[in-house]
Each structure stands twice: as C-alpha cells, then as structure tokens.
C-alpha cells in the first residue's frame, strides 16, 4: 500500500464513484453504508467472499470486495455472534451463551451448531487446526476455564472438562493463538499471576502456566513457531521463546496504558491500545523481547482499536476517524486524513484492505482505487463495533489495495 496521498481530479473521481460522497482534501472517499446491524467480526476468505457476523445473530456476506452485501440464510435472530474463523469455504462463528453457527458455502447459507447453552464464547477466536479441528475459548464457566473443541469442522462440539482443562480457579480467556499443534490462550490474571493455558495436542488437553507479577492479558500471537508475545493491562508485555512453555515478563513495561492488540511482520511486532497523553503504539524489532515507543507523524491522539499487517505495510485504526500506516515495521507511522470523525474499529489488510467502524461509514482510499484482485494479509486485534452495510459503488474496475471503513462493526478477531 502507498502511504503518500494521491492527487486526483475531484470531478472525475466523483464520476467514477457515482453516489459516493467525495471528501475534499481527504485521503479517503466516503461511502454510505446502510444495513444498521452491529457487526463484531469480519473475514476476507480465499476465494474472495467477505463475511461479517454480529448483533442478534446477524450474518452478511459480500462477493465484490465489500461493495454490496447480502444477508446469510438459514438462521434466525438470537444471541450475538462475536467472532469467526474459516477454512476454505467452511466458516464457523461463535458468540454469546455458547452459540455456534456454520456455513459450508462461504457465508451464503448457515446452520445452528450449538454445543448447548453455555458461557459466552466472547472476545475470542474460533481457530481451525489441520483443516477440521476448531477451538474456541471464552468466559469462564463457574470455576472452570471455557474451551470448546470440534473435530469435524464445527459440526459437533464438546465443551472440555476435567482432566482436559483445569476446572478450578478458572478465569475469562480473552484470546487464543495456534502454531501447528501448539496453542496458547491468555486471559484475566489469577491472583498475582498471569494466566496462560497451553496445549500441545491441537487443543485437546490444556495445562495452566503461571507467571508471577501478573496482570490481565488481552492479546496473544505466535511471531514464529517458537516466539510468542502476549500483551495486556497497564502496558504489560510477556514473551516466550519456547512456544509458550515458559514465559518472561518484559521489563520495563512497553507502555503505561492498556495494550489490547498485536500484529507483526517478520521479527517486527507492534502492540497498541488505549491512549495515554498520545498514541499508544509500541514496537519491537526482536520478536517481542525489547520494546520502544513508535513515532506518529500527524493526527490527534486517540485510542487504537485494531491493527493489521502484510508483508509491506502495517495499519492501525482508532477513535475519531484515526487511520495510521507504517512501512518500516511499525517504527514510524503516518496519519491519514479519513474525512470522518467516527470511531474506526477494525482493519484487515487484504487486496483490497478493509477497515470498519462506527455509524455505517465506508471509506474508499483515493490513492488506492483502480485495479487489483484478491490477496493475503491478516487481521489482528480485538475490536468491537456495530452498524454497517450495503455499499453500492457503480465502479466496474477492480481495486488495488482499496481500503474501506465501515460502521460500528466489523472487527478483527484476536490474532
């Protein structure tokens, strides 16, 4: 993605975008999105359908890069859906009260796959392992940690109990990440200890690992198959060099304010979260061992609500229409002029790049419109949202790194 602004002729751009609102002197052209359902997660599949889930069991999908949206069929209103994961054309979404729904046709049709009413599978990720095993974590169930597992791509689910997971001293689990057979989940601190759960058998059995000097952890990511980073409350960061078997608290804390999201590119790791007198963006160039404060050029300080990265760019979005981009591994960031003041709460760097936020706003980046196709990338962070959708842009070309921003809703799942 280019970080420089693109000079364009307003009348020509207005012609190309039809009814879209052109934001003078902005890096983004505003699109108006009309669905209105609160959306909590979004994923760009390969091949390229785009799927989002949210409030009241809402499921919507787009087959044209987010320009037009359709309602998924087969499930009714019910508990909110909070996160999703996919493998090929199979999508699994999880949510409140243990709700699980599944689509086998990239989001067009859905079925209920409830493992039974249970604790919220909340602020967590359903993760595919070996194409058929899916794991979801969430709020504690009484005194037990909550881990759900499926071995048939989300058709049937088991809530793991003793002896597979600890059934006493359980805490809410906020995030989970896998590298091969090994997975790590993190959550609310246990007394004076950090809370880590680790599995080495694809999520069947979990062991609790304690680390003194604890605080709540909100995000976790494997930077390599061995190097793992977790960040959390009051700017704390922890690091493991042995795939989560042992952990070290990074000293000093990278930040004074909460770090809620992680993304990485090679050895470069970025964490971000609640502002504290300025943007709360920190970076590491050694896989999370040591940290420094990033430099942000322009923009008013705000909370960062999501992060994402590709092989060449990192993106951060936040409150008040904040959009930041970095092309040097997170050391320096350039503020973009979004043209909106609403909160932006999710970003996924694909081709196009998708950003979503409050109030049904959708932004197409002026300097990126033109031609393109499908691509890779990744969502990172854990954001919350609402209100979005049907985007009707009568623009026949494909887009190279087109960037959208949409209403209080679509968001990344934790990495």
Q: What is the pLDDT of residues 325-376, one digit of tens each?
A: 999 999 999 998 888 888 887 777 765 567 766 665 556 565 443 323 333 3
Higher-pLDDT residue of 117 and 211 is 211
CB atoms within 10 A of CB 6: 13
Q: Hey, is 266 helix, strand or coil?
A: coil
H or E element at residue 14 = helix 10-17
Cα→Cα distances 4→26, 27, 339, Å: 12, 9, 16
H or E element at residue 26 = none
Judge whether 349 and 369 are in contact, CB under 8 Å. Answer: no
Q: Hey, is 353 helix, strand or coil?
A: strand
Alpha-helix runs per DSSP H in 95-213: none
The per-residue pLDDT for 43 is 66
The per-residue pLDDT for 222 is 96
Judge whether 320 and 385 are in contact, CB under 8 Å. Answer: no
Paired with 235 in beta bridges are none
**How far out from the chain centre does Cα 263 lie?**
10
Query: pLDDT at residue 139 above 80?
Result: yes
- Report DSSP state, residue 15: H
Q: What is the pLDDT of residues 257-293, one digit of tens each?
A: 999 999 999 999 999 999 988 899 999 999 999 999 9
The per-residue pLDDT for 363 is 61
Distance CA 135, CA 194 (A): 22
Higher-pLDDT residue of 243 and 116 is 243
Q: In sequence order, what DSSP letters do the residues of 64-112 get, joined into one string?
A: STTSS-EE-BS--S-SPEEEEEEETTEEEEEEGGG-EEEESSTTSB-EE
The per-residue pLDDT for 199 is 96
| Mean pLDDT, rounded, for 17-29 | 44
The per-residue pLDDT for 122 is 57
Q: Hey, is 367 helix, strand or coil?
A: helix
Distance CA 281, CA 328 (A): 14
| Mean pLDDT, rounded, for 384-407 | 25
Measured in degrees and rounded to the nearest 5, phi and psi for residue 319 equal -65, 155
Judged on CB neighbours under 10 Å (0-12, 13-18, 19+), 142 is exposed
Cα→Cα distances 129→151, 261, 404, Å: 9, 22, 30
The per-residue pLDDT for 88 is 81
The per-residue pLDDT for 406 is 31
Is 10-404 a domain of CATH 2.130.10.10?
A: yes
Q: Hey, is 317 helix, strand or coil?
A: strand
Q: What is the pLDDT of residues 80-100, one digit of tens each?
A: 888 888 888 888 988 888 889
Distance CA 183, CA 340 (A): 39
Judge whether 250 and 237 are in contact, CB under 8 Å. Answer: yes
Q: Which range has the worst mean pLDDT, 157-161, 297-301, 304-308, 350-354?
A: 350-354
| Mean pLDDT, rounded, for 135-157 | 89
Q: Residues 173, 179, 184, CA angle at the centre, nearest 5°?
A: 20
Percent of the chain past pLDDT 90, that is, above it, reads: 38
Distance CA 146, CA 82 (A): 15
| Mean pLDDT, rounded, for 221-236 | 96
Q: What is the pLDDT of residues 317-330, one digit of tens each?
A: 899 989 999 999 99
Q: Give the domain ranges of the chain.
A: 10-404
The pTM assigned to this predicted structure is: 0.79
H or E element at residue 13 = helix 10-17
Measured in degrees and rounded to the nearest 5, phi and psi for residue 233 equal -65, 145
């Amino acid at each position: 993605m280019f970080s420089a602004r693109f000079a364009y002729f307003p009348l020509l751009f207005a012609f190309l975008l039809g009814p879209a609102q052109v934001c003078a002197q902005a890096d983004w052209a505003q699109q108006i999105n009309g669905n209105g359902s609160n959306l909590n997660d979004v994923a760009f599949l390969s091949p390229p359908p785009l799927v989002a889930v949210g409030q009241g069991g809402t499921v919507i999908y787009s087959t044209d890069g987010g320009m037009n949206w359709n309602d998924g069929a087969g499930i009714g209103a019910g508990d909110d859906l909070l996160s999703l994961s996919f493998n090929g054309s199979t999508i699994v979404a999880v949510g409140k009260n243990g709700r699980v729904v599944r689509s086998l046709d990239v989001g067009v049709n859905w079925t209920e796959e409830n493992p039974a009413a249970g604790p919220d599978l909340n602020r967590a990720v359903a993760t595919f392992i070996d194409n058929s095993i899916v794991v979801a974590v969430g709020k504690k169930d009484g005194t037990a940690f909550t881990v759900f597992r499926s071995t048939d791509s989300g058709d049937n689910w088991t809530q793991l109990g003793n002896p597979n997971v600890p059934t006493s001293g359980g805490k809410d689990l906020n995030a989970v990440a896998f590298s091969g057979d090994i997975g790590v989940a993190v959550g609310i601190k246990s007394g004076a200890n950090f809370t880590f759960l680790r599995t080495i058998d694809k999520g069947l059995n979990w062991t609790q690992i304690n680390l003194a000097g604890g605080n709540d952890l909100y995000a976790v990511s494997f930077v390599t198959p061995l190097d793992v980073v977790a960040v959390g409350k009051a700017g704390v960061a922890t690091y493991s060099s042995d795939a989560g078997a042992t952990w070290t608290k990074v000293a000093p804390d990278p930040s004074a304010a909460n770090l809620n999201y992680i993304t990485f590119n090679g050895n470069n790791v970025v964490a971000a979260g609640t502002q504290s007198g300025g943007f709360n963006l920190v970076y590491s160039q050694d896989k999370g061992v040591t940290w420094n404060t990033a430099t942000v050029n322009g923009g008013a300080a705000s909370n960062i609500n999501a992060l994402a990265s590709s092989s060449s760019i990192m993106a951060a979005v936040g409150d008040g229409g904040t959009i930041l981009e970095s092309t040097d591994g997170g050391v320096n960031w350039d503020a973009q002029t979004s043209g909106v003041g609403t909160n932006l709460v999710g970003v996924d760097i694909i081709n196009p790049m998708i950003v979503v936020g409050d109030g049904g706003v959708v932004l197409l980046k002026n300097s990126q419109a033109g031609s393109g196709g499908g691509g890779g990338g990744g969502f990172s962070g854990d954001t919350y949202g609402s209100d979005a959708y049907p985007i009707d842009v009568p623009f026949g070309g494909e887009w190279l790194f087109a960037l959208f921003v949409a209403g209080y809703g679509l968001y990344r799942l934790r990495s």
